[in-house]
Amino acid sequence: MDLSDADLEQIAEVDRRLVDPPIQVETATWSKAGQLDWWVKERQQWLGRVRGKDGRQRWIKASDLRPASGSQPPLLKGASC
């Protein structure tokens, strides 16, 4: 999937989530993928926008991502425990 920043702005707010601060993630092969900074819901599935070391962005299915070793997922603003 190839979405630009302009495309991201077009997606309804209920179907996207900012990851702030961005976190390091690994792909399903559990190799370093880059830095996750957005979640977007597209066709009933969540995709993460990941920026690689080369600066390129790509969209990866949520099921194929996990936090990288030592990376802490951010707390959701407004979430209660």
Taking a C-beta distance cutoff of 8 angstroms, is the pair 35, 50 a contact? yes
Taking a C-beta distance cutoff of 8 angstroms, is the pair 41, 16 a contact? yes
What is the number of structural domains in the chain?
Answer: 1
Domain extent for 20: 5-67
Residue 19 lies in a domain: yes
Residue 12 lies in a domain: yes
Taking a C-beta distance cutoff of 8 angstroms, is the pair 35, 20 a contact? no
Per-10-residue mean pLDDT, the chain, length 81: 60 73 83 87 90 90 86 55 38
- At residue 36's C-alpha, the angle toward residues 3 and 52, to 5°, is 75
Residue 34 lies in a domain: yes
> For residue 51, what pLDDT is reported?
92
pTM of the predicted protein model = 0.58
Looking at residue 8, its amino acid is L
Taking a C-beta distance cutoff of 8 angstroms, is the pair 19, 74 a contact? yes
